[in-house]
Amino acid sequence: MTCVIGLISGTSVDGIDAALVEITGTEVDLRVEVLAAATTPYPTALRKQILDVCAGAAISIAELAELDDALAYEFTQAALAISKGYTPELIGSHGQTVYHRPPNLEQGKQGKNLLHSPQLGYSLQLGRGALIAQLSGILTVSNFRANDIAAGGQGAPMVPKVDAYLLGHPTRHRCIQNIGGIGNVTYLPAQNQTDISSIRGWDTGPGNTLLDLAVQHLTNGSLTYDADGRWASTGTPCNTLVERWLQQEFFRTTPPKSTGRELFGFDYFQQCLADAQAFQLKEADLLATLTELTAASIVDSYKNFLPGMPDEVLLCGGGSRNLYLKQRLQALMAGVSVLTTDEVGLSADFKEALAFAVLAYWRHLGITGNLPQVTGARQSLLLGDIHHP
């Protein structure tokens, strides 16, 4: 039994999710129990700074270094805050993504060896693990995406192997759909869990990013998200626009694929706004239309890239709280049960944080974390750098 803390702040840049878990077993016999969990919202100024950097603001290396350490400090505080009364042996910190560039596969294929291709991906997470280890006094694993990317992979999604052992079902085909800033799916066909070769996964596109940007735009920043999707639910989606937006190359690209705020961020939203103006959409209609794009892009990707539709979709991440989005997903997938991971006993709010605790635990034990058929990496690899306090 090992007590591990998982830490992540995703592309929504809303705050740090921390989960303290007790892990037993390793793979097929993996069991995880959440003992404590909390989300620590970012201070407003820090959040703005991160979002600016994500949107491509030019900053000096000195400023980048300061931000890196400010984040390591915040991540450590988040870890220590949930540790009271426990003795965690290990931290798995994903950090804060500020840049994600998927590999350019077209160019990569032309090269003889992906390793020598200039078109590898690149992904930068701030909040350096070495500092977290020093500040907390706890062994820390960080920088989980780097090895997969160096081996030609997308470096994302990282959680499918964890999902397989915690959420696979013997008779029901499941999709685990995380709706963070960006959406990502793990497809778990009904099976004996020892066979992980038929698992699939990819980033589906926008999760909450466009919705959050729209709400902030419409309220001049006084609201950061549409609680439960209530505002969006009063609008009517413009299907012509949704159909047009779905023609975008990312949605039509066959997995492996990953994305980030670089594609579905501020500039993308500005284009949506401009498109919406031509249709004279009301505020709620804009939100409903962006919700429809989010839902339809998820469902279309299942229809296009899975061997068949799942029996169940288990939602997690903050977007699983958006009842209107959930309703639209259900409407677009008649016959499929759309649930949350809470309903099968795994915290929807902390599933991603928990997954990085497991990935750190695997790294520590010398067990690989990525699935090459999901990320496109040449092989299964140990994920993350280990930092001793």
Ligand X SMILES: Nc1ncnc2c1ncn2[C@@H]1O[C@H](COP(=O)(O)OP(=O)(O)OP(=O)(O)O)[C@@H](O)[C@H]1O
Written as one letter, the residue type at 350 is: F
Q: Which residue has the tokens 């949506």?
A: 272
For Mg ion, the closer of residues 6 and 237 by Cβ is 6
Question: Which neighbouring-strand residues pair with 243?
Answer: none
Terminal C-alpha separation, the chain? 21
Structural tokens at position 297: 């892009």
Contact 344, 167 (CB under 8 A): yes
- Write the Ramachandran bin of 280: left for phi over 0, alpha for psi from -120 to 50, otherwise beta: left
Number of residue whose CB is nearest ligand X = 318
Structural tokens at position 31: 């069991």
| Residues 176-215 interacting with ligand X (rule: CB under 6 A) | 178, 180-182, 208, 212
201 binds, among ligand X, Mg ion, none (CB under 5 to 8 A by kind): none
Q: Which of 4, 5, 7, 14 binds Mg ion (CB under 5 A)?
A: 14
Angle, CA of 254, 256 and 260, to the nearest 5°: 100
Q: Interface with ligand X includes 317 (CB under 6 A)? A: yes
Q: What is the dihedral of CA 135, 139, 143, 149, to 10 degrees?
A: 170
Nearest approach, Cβ of residue 44 and ligand X (Å): 14
For Mg ion, the closer of residues 99 and 305 by Cβ is 99
For Mg ion, the closer of residues 129 and 207 by Cβ is 207
What phi and psi values does residue 319 have, to the nearest 5 degrees? Answer: -65, -15
Q: Which of 11, 12, 294, 375 binds Mg ion (CB under 5 A)?
A: 12
Query: Which range, of 7-15, 62-70, 193-201, 331-339, touches Mg ion by CB under 5 A?
Result: 7-15
For ligand X, the closer of residues 14 and 285 by Cβ is 14
Q: Interface with ligand X includes 321 (CB under 6 A)? A: yes
For ligand X, the closer of residues 193 and 350 by Cβ is 350
Q: Which of 4, 6, 7, 10 binds Mg ion (CB under 5 A)?
A: 10
Q: Interface with ligand X includes 319 (CB under 6 A)? A: yes
Nearest approach, Cβ of residue 180 and ligand X (Å): 2
Q: Please give the Cα distance from 311 to 319 (Å, whole number).
A: 21
Q: Interface with Mg ion includes 349 (CB under 5 A)? A: no
Q: Which of 155, 318, 376, 384 binds ligand X (CB under 6 A)?
A: 318
Size of the site for Mg ion (CB under 5 A): 3
Nearest approach, Cβ of residue 64 and Mg ion (Å): 22
* Residue spans of alpha helices (H) in the chain: 44-54, 61-81, 105-110, 129-136, 146-150, 160-167, 209-218, 239-245, 249-252, 266-278, 283-305, 323-332, 351-365, 372-375
Q: Interface with ligand X includes 352 (CB under 6 A)? A: yes
Structural tokens at position 212: 């959050």
Q: Please give the Cα distance from 15 to 212 (Å, whole number).
A: 14
For ligand X, the closer of residues 125 and 193 by Cβ is 125
For ligand X, the closer of residues 136 and 294 by Cβ is 294
Q: Please give the Cα distance from 36 to 52 (Å, whole number).
A: 32
SS3 for 300? helix
| Residues 10-29 interacting with ligand X (rule: CB under 6 A) | 10-12, 14, 17
227 binds, among Mg ion, ligand X, none (CB under 5 to 8 A by kind): ligand X
For ligand X, the closer of residues 12 and 93 by Cβ is 12
Nearest approach, Cβ of residue 62 and ligand X (Å): 27
Q: Interface with ligand X includes 377 (CB under 6 A)? A: no
For Mg ion, the closer of residues 242 and 353 by Cβ is 353
Q: Interface with ligand X includes 144 (CB under 6 A)? A: no
Q: DSSP code of 159?
A: -
Nearest approach, Cβ of residue 226 and ligand X (Å): 6
The DSSP annotation for 100-139 comes to: EE---HHHHHHSS-GGG-TT--EEEEES-HHHHHHHH-SE
Host H or E run for residue 35: strand 31-41
Q: Please give the Cα distance from 179 to 97 (Å, whole number).
A: 16
SS3 for 79? helix
Q: Interface with ligand X includes 140 (CB under 6 A)? A: no
| Residues 235-274 interacting with ligand X (rule: CB under 6 A) | none
Q: Under the rule (CB under 5 A), what is the footprint of Mg ion? A: 10, 12, 14
Q: Under the rule (CB under 6 A), what is the footprint of ligand X? A: 8-12, 14, 17, 178, 180-182, 208, 212, 225-229, 317-319, 321-322, 352
